[in-house]
Amino acid sequence: MACTSSTPSLSTKAQTRHTPGGACDARAGGESKPCPPALTGGESFCGGAIVDWLTVTWLPEPDEHVPAMVLDFLGDFIGPVSGVESPGMFGYQSGVRFFVDRDGTKVHVGRVDFGGNHHKMRARLDLSGTACALVKEWTGVQDWIARQFDYKITRVDLAVDCLMGEFGVDDAVEWFRAGEFHAGGRRPRHSTPGDWLDPHYGRTLEIGRRENGKMLRCYEKGRQLGDSVSPWTRFEVELRNIDRDIPLDVLIDRDRYFTGAYKCLARILDAAAERIRTHQKEGEIALEKLTLHARSSYGQLLHVLRLKLSASEVLDELSRPGIPKRLEKASLGGFINAGSLPALHQKEKCHENERDWV
């Protein structure tokens, strides 16, 4: 399917060229270049904003079995799920947590809470970023919500990933200083969590406040996951129904609501990575980190075992079914398969004087 974007076209007076990690530099005249630069090798930046969290409440029928209804809904739109009863949260009487199975590992994807007088017998469904990544088509989700009585979307997160650092935290800082996040002439509050003095684990710039119903988080996602030199940056808009109603078409017309939160975000839509590429990158970073930990902690043991056993016998002795927690989300996106591991395999071979035991 052809990919389109709602990003406004660049001015004829000033085209822009972007350098990863820095702000777009304006230049006049000369040959027009895409912003960000076009990729080669068949890759595509055509992704747009994604839904990365969804919370919705509604009033069920008095005789409605809420967990069974939600179980059917999730089965239709994200695939087979199982439910486990859980104490109600957020003032609700009862709750159920939902999981998908991945190679014997139960991966949590969401929960429903319902009943009790505190919320006047309403129900609340939370779909995590993991669940949202599995949604087959949002139009069906939109239709299902529309059929519920007195429904309300109380939270939705819309995100854009710049895997190659086409735009980053430094850009967001410049936009803030230039007043591009101002609302009604007022400068929004901001905060700067993370290791800004010696960036290693990632910086975050938060603009706005959750209590006011709208907040932007711009953070160095790759470094957060453990790659201290990763350029991967995520821009995430969190919307809540505080002093506003969140319409259903936010699930379909995501780019418009993403840029509607802060107009300056329109410039990054062309750099949005497709969901499958974010899963691949997340899996690569997590797997490399886990492999380094395994080498540091058990590398010498494995060396000794290789002197006593064959490689296949070593793997049979040490491996067990399941998926490490840090790889759960990436595995649901299709990361764990034979075609996903060559990059890591090449990195392994680069370690000199170490025996390839895999």
Residue spans of beta strands (DSSP E) within the chain: 15-18, 24-27, 50-58, 82-87, 94-102, 105-114, 123-127, 152-162, 190-191, 204-209, 214-219, 233-240
Amino acid identity, position 2: A
Sign for the pseudo-dihedral over CA of 132, 44, 272, 288: positive
Is residue 33 included in any domain, yes or no? no
Q: What's the pLDDT score for residue 69?
A: 96
Q: Could you give the CA distance from residue 137 to residue 76 in angstroms, rounded to a whole number?
A: 10
Q: What's the pLDDT score for residue 189?
A: 92
For all residues of the chain together, what is the average pLDDT?
78
pLDDT of 218 higher than 80: yes
Angstrom CA distances, 108 to 50, 156, 241, 313, 334, stand at 20, 18, 25, 33, 16
pLDDT of 27 higher than 50: no
Same domain, 223 and 307: no
Q: What's the pLDDT score for residue 304?
A: 82
Same domain, 117 and 238: yes
pLDDT digits (tens, 9 = 90+) for 165-206: 999 999 999 999 999 998 777 889 999 999 999 888 999 999
Residue by residue, DSSP assigns 55-114 as EEEE---TT--HHHHHHHHHHHHT---EEEEEE--TT-SEEEEEEEEETTEEEEEEEEEE
Is residue 13 included in any domain, yes or no? no
Residue with tokens 């000033």: 14
Number of domains composing the chain: 2
Same domain, 308 and 159: no
Give 88 or 210, the one with higher predicted confidence: 88
Residue with tokens 């296949």: 312
Same domain, 113 and 182: yes
Same domain, 216 and 307: no
Domain boundary among 208, 239, 274: 274
- Least confident span in 15-29, 262-276, 319-333: 15-29
Is residue 325 included in any domain, yes or no? yes
Q: What's the pLDDT score for residue 326?
A: 63
pLDDT digits (tens, 9 = 90+) for 238-256: 999 998 899 999 999 999 9
Domain boundary among 233, 249, 274: 274
Q: What's the pLDDT score for residue 48?
A: 87
Phi, psi of 138 (to 5 degrees): -75, -20
Give 92 or 46, the one with higher predicted confidence: 92
pLDDT of 310 higher than 90: no
pLDDT of 349 higher than 70: no
Residue by residue, DSSP assigns 142-157 as HHHHHTSTT-EEEEEE
For residues 52 and 132, the answer to whether their CB atoms sit within 8 Å is yes
Same domain, 252 and 302: no
Is residue 28 included in any domain, yes or no? no
Is residue 30 included in any domain, yes or no? no
pLDDT digits (tens, 9 = 90+) for 256-307: 999 988 889 988 987 665 544 555 666 676 677 677 777 888 888 887 888 8
Give 51 or 31, the one with higher predicted confidence: 51
Is residue 155 included in any domain, yes or no? yes
Q: What's the pLDDT score for residue 79?
A: 93
Angstrom CA distances, 33 to 30, 63, 131, 255, 304, stand at 9, 61, 37, 23, 56
Domain that holds residue 164: 50-274
Same domain, 94 and 132: yes
Same domain, 165 and 303: no
pLDDT digits (tens, 9 = 90+) for 95-125: 999 999 987 889 999 999 999 999 999 999 9
Q: Which strand (E) or helix (H) includes residue 288?
A: helix 275-308
Instruction: Flag whether the pTM goes above 0.75.
Output: no
pLDDT digits (tens, 9 = 90+) for 117-167: 999 999 999 999 999 999 989 999 999 999 999 999 999 999 999 988 999
pLDDT-derived band at 53 (thresholds 50, 70, 90) equals: very high
Same domain, 133 and 213: yes
Domain boundary among 219, 243, 274: 274
3-class DSSP assignment, residue 39: coil
Is residue 18 included in any domain, yes or no? no
For residues 177 and 162, the answer to whether their CB atoms sit within 8 Å is no
Amino acid identity, position 291: T
The mean pLDDT value for 35-51 works out to: 48
Same domain, 116 and 219: yes
Is residue 44 included in any domain, yes or no? no
Give 150 or 16, the one with higher predicted confidence: 150
pLDDT-derived band at 11 (thresholds 50, 70, 90) equals: very low
pLDDT of 28 higher than 80: no
Same domain, 90 and 105: yes
Sign for the pseudo-dihedral over CA of 239, 108, 135, 147: negative
Give 11: exposed, middle or buried? Use CB within 10 Å, 0-12, 13-18, 19+.
exposed
Same domain, 104 and 253: yes
